[in-house]
Amino acid sequence: MRAIILLGAPGAGKGTLADGIKAASRFQHVATGDMLRAALKQGTPVGREAEAFMKRGELVPDEVIFKLVEARIAAGGGDDGFMFDGFPRTLAQAERLDALLAAHGGKVDHVFLLEAPRALLLSRLTGRRVCRGCGAVYHVVNIPPRRAGLCDACGGELYQRADDQEATIANRLDVYERQTAPLIAYYDRQGVLTRVDAARERQESVAAILAAATDRGR
Ligand code: AMP
C-alpha cells in the first residue's frame, strides 16, 4: 500500500493541494484536522477532547490522533494508496505511522514538504474563509468567491476558522516549528523528502507530485 504525506506549516496550502491531487488520482485522503473538525461539529467524545487544544492552536494529544488514524487505515486506502495531510505532526506520530503501514505491508513512499516564508503563511491564514456547508476553502484576496461571503459550489455561508484568528495563528506557527519541523530531518534521513515551493501554481505542483508519487508519468 503506497503512502504519501503532505508536510508543511499551517497556511502552506496542504489542503488546497490535496484537493487538486484528489481530483486527479485515487488516493484516500486522510486529513486529521478535517476529521477533528467533523468530530467537534458532531459533538463526539473525540471532538470534545480535542476542542480546547484546537482553540488554543496546540496539538491534540497523540493518543487521540492515533485512534482516528488507525481506524482510517484499517478501513483501507484508495487505488493509489493513502495521502496524509496534517498528519504526522510529531515524531511519535511519524513512528506510529511507520509501524501501522508496516503492519499493512506498506511504508511512507514520499513526503512532500511545502515551503513558504512566514509572511506568506500569515497572509494565507488571516485571509482564509471556509464554507460551512461543503468545506470548500477560499481566500478574501487570492481565491475570492463570486458572491461575497457565499460558497460558489453550494451557496453555503463562508466563515473564518476560530484558529485562523491572529492570536492563535502565531501559536500554531510556533507549535509547527517546535513539534512538527523535526519531521523534516526524520524523512530526509529516510531519503523520501521532496521540497515543493508553496508559492508555485497549484496545478504545477499537483502534476509534479502525481508524476513522482503514482504510476502516471512513468
Ligand atoms: P489543521 O486543519 O491541519 O490545521 O488542524 C487544525 C488543528 O487540529 C491543529 O491546530 C491541531 O490542534 C489539531 N490537529 C490536526 N491534526 C493534528 C495532528 N496530526 N496531531 C495533533 N493535532 C492535530
Distance 57 CA to ligand 1 centre (A): 8
**Quick one: pLDDT at residue 1?**
80
All structural domains of the chain, each given as residue ranges with its CATH number in brackets, are 2-117+180-215 (3.40.50.300)
The reply to whether omega before 10 is within 30° of 0 (cis) is no
Distance 60 CA to ligand 1 centre (A): 7
Residue range 152-168: mean pLDDT, rounded: 94
CB 109 within 8 A of CB 3: yes
**Quick one: pLDDT at residue 167?**
86
The residues that are catalytic are 14, 89, 128, 161, 172
CA distance 213 to 146: 34
Residue range 140-162: mean pLDDT, rounded: 96
Residue range 85-97: mean pLDDT, rounded: 98
DSSP 119-130: HHHHHHHHHEEE
Residue range 90-114: mean pLDDT, rounded: 96
Best residue among 7, 35, 36, 125 to mutate for probing ligand 1's pocket (most ligand atoms within 8 Å of CB) is 36
Binned at pLDDT 50, 70 and 90, residue 184 comes out as very high
Selection from 74, 10, 19 nearest residue 209 by Cα: 19
Residue range 64-76: mean pLDDT, rounded: 94
**What average pLDDT is seen over the chain?**
94
- Specify the ligand 1 atom closest to the Cα of 57: 10
**Quick one: pLDDT at residue 214?**
85
Ligand 1 binding pocket, CB closer than 6 Å: 10, 32-33, 36, 53-54, 57-60, 65, 86-87, 89, 93, 163, 172
CB 118 within 8 A of CB 173: yes
